[in-house]
Amino acid sequence: MYDAVMAETVTMTGDGGAAIEAYLARPLDRGPRGAVVVIHHMPGYDESTKEIVRRFAVLGYNACMPNLYHREAPGASPDDAAAAARAAGGVPDDRLVGDVAGAAALLRGLASSNGRVGVIGYCSGGRQSFLAACRLKLDAAVDCYGAFVVNSTPPESPFARPAVVGLAPQLSCPLLGLFGAEDQHPSPAETDELGRILTELGKVHELHTYEGAGHAFFTVDRPAYRPEAAVDGWRRIVDFFGRHLAA
Amino acid sequence: MCTYQTVRVALEGSGKGQGGWFPVSVASVYFDHSVHTPADHTLNVDFLNPAQGPAARVAVELSARGARQLAEAILAALPAADPPAEPGA
């Protein structure tokens, strides 16, 4: 079996036609194959999230992660870039949607594409994954512990973000949600409410909450890592994308 | 959690970063993920000069207890009344 993959930094067209940095990983066979847009967590476009992008390529997907902080901090180290983006008020929702749309277009344009594109996001990217799946035509979406989907940020927050669950009627694809029972952002009560709303709307969804895990349990380089939840979460992601992104 | 909570403070002073000393114009203060400290969350302060780019940054990540002690120490170290003029004033 030929299993070579290639991973590289590329320039892609993001929201408003802006040229932004992205990390692209893909199997080197001819395909056809599905694709995944990876939305990095709030700490940024970092090494551990690039590993996730490469893992999707090894799993048989073309995968692209836009650097959401490129505009604020081109060429900066990931932690400096995250700090600069935070100081500037964070990533605007409309810009995020445009950047995911650009990554999806790049992936659909690859010669090995089967035309199907999913999205996955972690932490703040979980909310952004849900948002993108409501605003764009996608084929599958995964929300990994995204806060402020059901509840808005507190009004006094200078980082204010509105809840996005009101967009659920426009959710364009099946949703997989992976959460930690010990997380407070989002809390189990919020994710229960998300499930109730999606059921009421007749939206295809699977939400799983892991006992003994809190926020960011997929991050292998942080104390929040919980191997049992992460291993089972990856199993569910592989199964979910396998069903929805196959040709 | 990802708190999204960030308190920004405009200030005057200087910090020493990877490129040497630079004027600090703003501090971001937030309790959120840490980059280096082996803890899920820390009280983080970024002393920044956005005009000089993202690398003009002095970052600290503190335990909640340490951050409170530091805040008290700063207040204790400052003159109680009639603060002196700000630098450059």
Shortest distance, CA B13 to any CA of chain A (angstroms): 18
| Contacts of the segment B65-74: beta carbons below 8 A, 24+ positions apart | B67/B43
Residue B83 placed within a domain = no
Q: What is the CATH number of the domain that holds A150?
A: 3.40.50.1820
Give per-residue pLDDT as tens, A152-163.
887 766 667 889
CA dihedral A142, A95, A189, B33 (to 10 degrees): 90
* Residue B38 confidence (pLDDT): 87
- Indicate the pLDDT class of residue B87, thresholds 50, 70 and 90: low
Cβ atoms A115, A121 nearer than 8 A: no
* Residue B86 confidence (pLDDT): 62
* Residue A244 confidence (pLDDT): 98
Domain range for A95: 5-244
Instruction: Kindly identify which residue of chain B lies nearest to residue A160, measuring between CA atoms.
Output: B4
Q: Decide if B50 and A87 are in contact by the 8 Å CB cutoff.
A: yes
Residue B89 placed within a domain = no
* Residue A88 confidence (pLDDT): 86
Q: Decide if A87 and B48 are in contact by the 8 Å CB cutoff.
A: yes
* Residue A158 confidence (pLDDT): 64
Residue B17 placed within a domain = yes
Q: Decide if B4 and A72 are in contact by the 8 Å CB cutoff.
A: no
Answer yes or no: is pLDDT of B10 > 80. Answer: yes
Task: Using a CB–CB cutoff of 8 Å, tell me whether A190 touches chain B.
Answer: no
Domain range for B51: 7-77
Answer yes or no: is pLDDT of B89 > 80. Answer: no
Contacts of A81 in chain B (CB under 8 A): 54
The three-class DSSP label of residue A220 is: coil
Q: Mean pLDDT by 10-residue block, N- to C-terminus, for chain A (247 residues)? A: 95 98 96 97 93 98 98 93 90 97 98 98 96 98 95 75 94 98 94 97 98 95 93 98 93
Q: How many domains does chain B have?
A: 1
Residue B55 placed within a domain = yes
Shortest distance, CA A18 to any CA of chain B (angstroms): 19
Shortest distance, CA B44 to any CA of chain A (angstroms): 10
Q: Decide if B28 and A77 are in contact by the 8 Å CB cutoff.
A: no
ipTM higher than the 0.85 cut: no
Please work out, in degrees rounded to the nearest 5, the angle formed at the alpha carbon of residue A166 by the alpha carbons of A163 and A170: 125
Give per-residue pLDDT as tens, B20-56.
999 999 999 999 888 889 888 899 999 999 999 999 9
How many DSSP H helices and E strands does chain A contain? 6, 8
Answer yes or no: is pLDDT of B75 > 70. Answer: yes
* Residue A153 confidence (pLDDT): 83
Q: What percent of chain A has pLDDT over 90?
A: 89
Residue B85 placed within a domain = no
Q: How many domains does chain A have?
A: 1
